[in-house]
């Protein structure tokens, strides 16, 4: 089985009514740490790829503007219910993370929380995301990745058949996603589930 947009739309329609209830506390530390590392300043623009139910929106500092993109209108409806936020300008757009409906090099920062393991083509999502960032911009990721030394054991592949039914892939390696792009990991730290989930900050060099 492979993740597809069609499958994700179905799965996240089912998840949307209970997503915050089930996952808010579980992912809170990762989301909070991701925003700390993004280090947003008043006046900056941030792109939130895979904004989902908008769990990251209340964590945005005052004075920033944000565009949140998500494929699922059901998830976006939950995010929209969290708006407006005081002194934060937020626009939500229904769109595909693999073909982001935003202009290139227009964002000071990009936030990728729990999307690279969900979108069908993670490498394409990554390329689109870094293209949206300004030169010398920064990107922060909170997600789960297979260890780089992992040989994709039978146990992981079998478990992945189950997790993919729930709309997420546990076999993806970060190095494969970013191969061929000019990006430097400047911070990488373990988060929940013994480091299966990680928080990383990536620097994008100037041309």
Distance CA 58, CA 197 (A): 22
Is 50:115 a contact under the CB 8 Å cutoff? yes
- The Cα 96–Cα 80 span in angstroms is 18
pLDDT at 36: 98
- Name the domain count of the chain: 1
C-alpha distance from residue 73 to each of 89, 94, 195 (Å): 20, 6, 31
How do residues 157-172 score in pLDDT, each as one tens digit?
Answer: 888 989 999 999 999 9
Q: For the domain that residue 66 is a member of, what is the CATH number?
A: 3.40.50.150
Distance set, CA 197 to CA 37, 84, 164 (Å): 15, 30, 17
Q: Which domain holds residue 17?
A: 5-203
Q: Which helix (H) or strand (E) holds 132?
A: helix 122-132
Q: How confident is the model at residue 147 (pLDDT cuts 50, 70, 90)?
A: confident
Q: Residue 106: what pLDDT?
A: 97
Mean of pLDDT values over 85-107: 97
Q: Tell me the pLDDT of the chain averaged across its residues.
A: 94
As a whole number, mean pLDDT of residues 35-60 equals 98
pTM of the model: 0.95
């Amino acid at each position: 089985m492979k993740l597809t947009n069609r499958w994700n739309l179905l799965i996240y329609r089912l998840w949307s009514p209970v997503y915050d209830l089930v996952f808010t506390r579980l992912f809170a530390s990762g989301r909070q740490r991701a925003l700390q590392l993004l280090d947003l300043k008043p006046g900056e623009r941030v792109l939130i790829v895979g904004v989902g139910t908008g769990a990251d929106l209340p964590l945005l500092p005052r004075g920033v503007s944000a565009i949140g993109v998500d494929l699922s209108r059901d998830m976006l409806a939950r995010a929209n219910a969290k708006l407006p936020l005081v002194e934060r300008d937020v626009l939500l757009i229904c769109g595909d993370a693999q073909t982001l409906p935003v202009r290139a090099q227009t964002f000071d920062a990009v936030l990728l929380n729990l999307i690279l393991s969900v979108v069908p083509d993670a490498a394409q999502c990554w390329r689109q995301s870094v293209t949206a960032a300004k030169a010398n911009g920064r990107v922060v990721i909170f997600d789960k990745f297979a260890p780089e030394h992992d040989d994709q054991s039978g146990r992981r592949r079998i478990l992945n058949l189950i997790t993919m039914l729930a709309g997420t892939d546990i076999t993806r390696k970060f190095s494969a996603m970013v191969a061929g792009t000019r990006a430097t990991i400047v911070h990488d730290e373990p988060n929940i589930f013994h480091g299966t989930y990680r928080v990383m900050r990536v620097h994008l060099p100037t041309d």
